[in-house]
Amino acid sequence: MSDRVVRTRKVTISLPADLVDYADEQAERMRTSRSEVITLALAERQAAEREALAAEGYRFFAEEAAAYAEATASTISEAIDDER
């Protein structure tokens, strides 16, 4: 996370016992709270999802640009030849 102040909300959730045990083990190992472990896990998942969406967007626009370049290559080539 960062050093900025983050507003928090208290919520009640139900989790499988093995995940609660795992979160507790991680919290003890990291010397932090269960809430912090869950917060970090969700933040990592959110960052990965955003990164995947950004990569998908970059691929889409790269494909669009390549298709446009291919479609206009002969016209641009003719224009360049006409200027010479």
* Mean per-residue pLDDT, 29-50: 96
31: left (phi over 0), alpha (psi -120 to 50) or beta: left
Quickly state the pLDDT bin for 1 (edges 50, 70, 90). Answer: low
Residue 79 within a domain: yes
**Domain presence at residue 28:** yes
Cα(65)–Cα(73) distance, integer angstroms: 12
Alpha helices (H) along the chain: 17-30, 34-83
Is 33 within a domain? Answer: yes
Q: In terms of residue numbers, what domain contains 76? A: 17-83
Residue 32 has pLDDT above 70, yes or no: yes
- What span, in angstroms and rounded, lies between the C-alpha atoms of 45 and 76? 45
Q: How many domains does the chain have?
A: 1
For residue 10, tell me if it sits in a domain: no
